[in-house]
């Protein structure tokens, strides 16, 4: 539970590198560029890595594994996902999901007990590592667009009877150290903490400067009550906060809600008045929640991970956060990072 997750996420693991960009979801990266990004992350001190079979249909796991295989296993924390098996196929029916990955694999949704054990074994083979620290049940939420007949409700019931007890057993056996769900919407987190005994959940795109009220007021109290921790992902809403022409993930990620565009413009105005880099503020804001044991960021280049790392070391003035609350751009009860001194009165 909470104590177990916090023992796993030591201070050196509170900032992690996520695998979506190096799975070539948004842009084409060569193996050489991916290796350079991972080497830069390690040199900076990044020691938590989060991947999934889904990212590039195996590409991200292969790239992370190629690098991590050469590191001492006790020196880093590694999480991956279960629920999506990969099957080599000449047809490659799922190539449109990650057209830049050049993957030969097709996707098989499988949240059964046998399926999650197979998924972990496959991930370990792709990465060439001895074990996973955390297994997240991936995309078990209503927003995932590629569920087979019966939709999310049917798959959740399969996971409730299969994946959840199997992962608890694997944790007890020492095969993994912790498990939870990794999702983009709150509903699955709220359900799994009632139906099973997860340790830590990956809460993606739900707690950002743009959108955080529901997570703050609904999800956080619920996980506190159940002593479950959170890893926060997609603090930049898939790069939207830092200027990318997309918003979150999924088929509709290029249809940016007008209210998000308006809020981003207002956030930029406040940041400019205070001389604050908005990406820096967004990352620090998402990491400041007491329920968060780690923040995971995606980076596709040496420069990106360097910028993100530096952002976590920066000091943001107290008055910036005060104005965001005064302007109702963040919730009045939202925790904010440690700050510099208030500006001197005029």
Residue 344, pLDDT score: 44
In a domain, 267, yes or no: no
Residue 213, pLDDT score: 97
Mean pLDDT on 307-318: 96
Q: For residue 143, is pLDDT > 60? A: yes
In a domain, 280, yes or no: no
Residues 6+ apart with CB under 8 A from 46: 15, 16, 17, 305, 309
Residue 58, pLDDT score: 95
Residue 91: pLDDT band by 50, 70, 90 thresholds? Answer: confident
In a domain, 346, yes or no: no
Question: Which CATH number belongs to the domain containing residue 296 in this structure?
Answer: 3.20.20.100
The mean-pLDDT minimum among 248-252, 287-291, 308-312 falls in 248-252
**Average pLDDT of every residue of the chain:** 93
The 10s digit of each residue's pLDDT in 201-248 is 999 999 999 999 999 999 999 999 999 999 999 999 988 999 888 888
Residue 245, pLDDT score: 85
The 10s digit of each residue's pLDDT in 101-112 is 888 888 999 999
Structural domain harbouring 214: 2-253+287-315
Spell 304-327 as b/e; 16+ CB within 10 A means b: bbbbbbebeeeebbbbbbebbeee
The mean-pLDDT minimum among 225-229, 276-280, 336-340 falls in 336-340
- Half-sphere exposure (CA, 13 Å, Cβ side) for 110? 17
Residue 94, pLDDT score: 65
Q: For residue 346, is pLDDT > 50? A: no
In a domain, 328, yes or no: no
Residue percentage of the chain with pLDDT more than 70 = 95
Residue percentage of the chain with pLDDT more than 90 = 84
Mean pLDDT on 277-303: 96
In a domain, 131, yes or no: yes
Domains in the chain, number = 1
CA distance 173 to 28: 39
- Cα 330 to chain center, whole Å? 21
Q: For residue 9, is pLDDT > 90? A: yes
Mean pLDDT on 334-346: 69
In a domain, 174, yes or no: yes
In a domain, 331, yes or no: no
The 10s digit of each residue's pLDDT in 10-43 is 999 999 999 999 999 889 999 999 999 999 999 9
Residue 103, pLDDT score: 86
CA-wise closest residue to 185 among 226, 234, 148: 234
In a domain, 339, yes or no: no
Mean pLDDT on 145-162: 94
Residue 250, pLDDT score: 54
- Which of left, alpha, beta for 186 (phi over 0: left; psi -120 to 50: alpha)? alpha
CA distance 229 to 103: 34
Q: For residue 177, is pLDDT > 80? A: yes
CA-wise closest residue to 28 among 96, 93, 99, 127: 99
Residue 88, pLDDT score: 87
- Cα 62 to chain center, whole Å? 18
């Amino acid at each position: 539970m909470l104590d177990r997750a916090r023992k796993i996420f030591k201070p050196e693991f509170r900032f992690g590198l996520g695998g979506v960009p190096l799975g070539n979801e948004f842009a084409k990266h060569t193996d050489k560029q991916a290796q350079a990004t991972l080497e830069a992350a390690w040199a900076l001190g990044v020691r938590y890595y989060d991947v999934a079979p889904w990212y590039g249909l195996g590409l991200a796991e292969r790239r992370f594994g190629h690098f991590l295989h050469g590191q001492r296993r006790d020196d880093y924390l590694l999480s991956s996902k279960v629920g999506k098996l990969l099957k080599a196929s000449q047809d490659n029916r799922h190539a449109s999901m990650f057209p830049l990955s050049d993957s030969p694999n097709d996707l098989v949704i499988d949240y059964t007990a046998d399926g999650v054990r197979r998924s972990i074994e496959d991930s370990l083979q792709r990465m060439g590592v001895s074990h996973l620290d955390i297994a997240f049940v991936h995309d078990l939420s209503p927003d995932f667009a590629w569920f087979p007949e019966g939709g999310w409700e049917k798959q959740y019931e399969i996971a409730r009877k299969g994946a959840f007890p199997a992962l608890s057993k694997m944790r007890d056996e020492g095969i993994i150290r912790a498990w939870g769900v990794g999702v983009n919407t709150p509903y699955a987190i709220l359900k799994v903490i009632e139906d099973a005994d997860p340790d830590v959940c990956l809460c993606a795109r739900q707690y950002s400067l743009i959108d955080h009220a529901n997570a703050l007021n609904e999800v956080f109290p619920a996980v506190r009550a159940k002593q479950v921790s959170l890893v926060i992902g997609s603090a930049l809403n898939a790069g939207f906060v830092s200027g990318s022409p997309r918003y979150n993930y999924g088929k509709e990620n290029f249809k940016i809600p007008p209210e998000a565009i308006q809020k981003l413009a207002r956030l930029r105005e406040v940041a400019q008045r205070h001389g604050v880099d908005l990406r820096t503020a967004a990352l620090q804001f998402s990491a400041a929640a007491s329920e968060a044991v780690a923040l995971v960021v995606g980076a596709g280049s040496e420069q990106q991970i360097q910028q993100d790392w530096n952002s976590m070391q920066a000091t943001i003035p107290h008055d910036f956060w005060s104005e965001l609350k005064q302007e109702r751009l963040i919730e009045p009860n939202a925790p904010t990072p440690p700050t510099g001194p208030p500006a001197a009165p005029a």
